[in-house]
Chains A and B, each alone.
Chain A
Amino acid sequence: MVGVPVLWLAVFFLIPFLIVLKISFSEARLAIPPYAPLFTWLHGLPVPRIHLSSYSYLFTHPLYLRSYLYSIMVAAVSTLFCLLIGYPMAYAIARAGEAWRTFLLMLIVLPFWTSFLLRVYAWIGLLQNDGLINNVLVSLGLIRHPITLLQTDFSLYIGIVYSYLPYMILPLYANLEKHDPALLEAAADLGARPLMAFLRVTLPQSLPGIAAGSLLVFIPTVGEYVIPTLLGRTDQIMIGRMLSDEFFDNRDWPVASAVAILILLLLVVPIVLLQRVERKQLETPE
């Protein structure tokens, strides 16, 4: 019985990565499919023809390195913003009354069930030059002329934080909700001020929640494609967009595969960490 899902995932998840790895070492050519076979047959024996050209291409063109570093920075900054906004929200929900808690959680989860693409699209209407935000700012007299908000780092961060905030709030809530209020009372009895009690009691206890939420935001954001395409800068693109452009526009499958392998190398450690954190959370009794 276990065999069926294991086999399915092996065929549709594990083996595809090996194929990506294989193609990243082959040579591009004008054919269908557009890459050379990795082995050629000579006197009945397979002769490997491993090419490092895709990787050397990526490392010698600063465009790719810059895009790679930019993606890491965007993912890191977005994660930080999600944490700063999401932590107090999760805290307030965890401290709310029983009936409120169900309702508030529903409000957090609800956007998650509606189309991600349409929610990102909504920001175009809000942020463009004659959009709602500029109109409000102009009519309030705060600015005289509309300011460019769309296709900037600002709009990119807005889009990412907006889309990934629930991924930060939910694991934080799951953690904060389990805390024993008696510990905070004890800290207060011992003379700790609320801020001190928070820093010394609540914050350290919530570290697993912070880790889970941050990884859930950071990992997919590094390779994000839709948000940077719709809201991001046009002069500096993220690595996920780079991969897609190499594949669809340049039809260079080996380079696209090499980009995928480099993103995966970056994400291996965070993914393993996430699995550790989640396993611990599933194993701790409620």
Chain B
Amino acid sequence: MSKTGIFSRTALVLGLVFLYVPILSLIVYSFNNSRLVTVWDAAHSPTLKWYGVLLSDGQVLDAAWLSLRVAICAATASAVLGTLAGTALARFGAFRGRSLLVGMTTAPIVMPEVISGLSLLLLFVSLDQLIGWPRNMGALTITLAHVSFCMAYVTVVIQSRLAGFDESLEEAAQDLGARPAKVFLRITLPLILPAVLAGWLLAFTLSWDDLVISQFVAGPGSSTLPMVIFSKVRLGVSPDVNALATLMVSVVASGVVIATLWMRHRQRRRERDMQLAAAANL
């Protein structure tokens, strides 16, 4: 193997170790009996003690329930808006407001969260002064704030997916007399459905994880799960947070592995179908 090959592969292995050691350490220490996260109490470990502590903590459970409701609503709204925006950007060519839409869908992705959070809170405060809505900050304002940055991610996912498909199917449907709305529902949407699903999941994760923007727009009285975690970890390490991390990592890891296997399976089936079709044509 060439020298560059050896060097880059070593870097890859070390980089992956760097990415995964912290996550593994969280998982291992979640089974540790000691309250001191870093001292392994070999006599009484492994134990599920901290999982018990976590699941009987009313504050954590309430926050998780709020985060779940917000994430489902925000992901669904983002998927709808992002699909419309992504389709427009990939298919409608040069329409009025295009560059504005491009700008407004790229910027939220990189915008420092403190700025997005501050600006959204000031928006809600101004709206409240102007039209008396929204009276209180809470689940609704958090959801609206999350949609505003999550939809940008969905837009990018949809747009890059559509960039990979040629437009001949849609053009054929149009030539056969289908109206634009029908073309979208019958041709475009089925083609991009996996991307819409991926976008929904991405939006769900981003909303579920968001701390900074929620902190600005949550108002007193409503705390999302990351807000509760943040107030716990600011006081130092706490083993029940490790248990929570382990639960979240296992859900995500199994989800991603299943999704990857399923997509590979679909890919293989499609390739086989193509081969069969090619053979039948001969």
| B interface residues, tally (CB under 8 Å) | 91
Which positions 95-144 of chain B face chain A at CB distance < 8 Å? 95, 97, 100-108, 110-115, 118-120, 122-123, 125-126, 129, 144
User: Which candidate, B9-17, B42-50, B168-176, B274-282, is the interface stretch facing chain A?
Assistant: B9-17
Partner of A122 from the list B22, B229, B264 (CB cut-off 8 Å) is B22
Q: B4 to A122, Cβ gap below 8 A? A: no
**A55 proximal to B (CB < 8 A):** no
**A243 proximal to B (CB < 8 A):** yes
Q: A260 to B119, Cβ gap below 8 A? A: yes
Partner of A125 from the list B16, B26, B155 (CB cut-off 8 Å) is B26
The answer to whether residues A117 and B211 also contact, given A110-B253, A162-B18, A253-B122 and a CB cut-off of 8 A, is: yes
Q: B38 to A114, Cβ gap below 8 A? A: no
Which positions 221-247 of chain A face chain B at CB distance < 8 Å? 222-226, 229-230, 240, 243-244, 247
B165 CB to closest chain A CB (Å) equals: 11
Residues of A within 8 A of B4 (CB): 91, 194-195, 198
Residues of A within 8 A of B253 (CB): 110, 114
Residues of A within 8 A of B164 (CB): 286
Q: B104 to A14, Cβ gap below 8 A? A: yes
Tally of A-B Cβ pairs under 8 angstroms: 250
Q: B101 to A220, Cβ gap below 8 A? A: no
**A48 proximal to B (CB < 8 A):** no
Which positions 253-286 of chain A face chain B at CB distance < 8 Å? 253, 256-257, 260, 263-264, 267, 271, 274-275, 278-279, 282, 286
A87 CB to closest chain B CB (Å) equals: 8
Q: B102 to A132, Cβ gap below 8 A? A: no
Partner of A89 from the list B11, B97, B111 (CB cut-off 8 Å) is B11
In this complex, what residue of B is CB-closest to A230?
B233
Q: Within the assembled complex, what's the spacing in Å between the Cα atoms of A36 and B25? A: 50
- Which residues in A have some Cβ–Cβ distance to B below 8 Å? 1-2, 4-6, 8-17, 19-20, 23, 33, 85-86, 88-89, 91-93, 95, 102, 104, 106-111, 113-119, 121-126, 128, 130-132, 135, 162, 165, 194-195, 198, 215-216, 219-220, 222-226, 229-230, 240, 243-244, 247, 253, 256-257, 260, 263-264, 267, 271, 274-275, 278-279, 282, 286
- Which residues in B have some Cβ–Cβ distance to A below 8 Å? 2-5, 7-9, 11-12, 15-16, 18-23, 25-26, 29, 36-39, 81-82, 84-85, 88, 92, 95, 97, 100-108, 110-115, 118-120, 122-123, 125-126, 129, 144-145, 147-148, 151, 155, 159-160, 163-164, 205, 208-209, 211-212, 216, 226, 229-230, 233-234, 236-237, 241-242, 244-245, 248-249, 252-253, 255-257, 260, 264
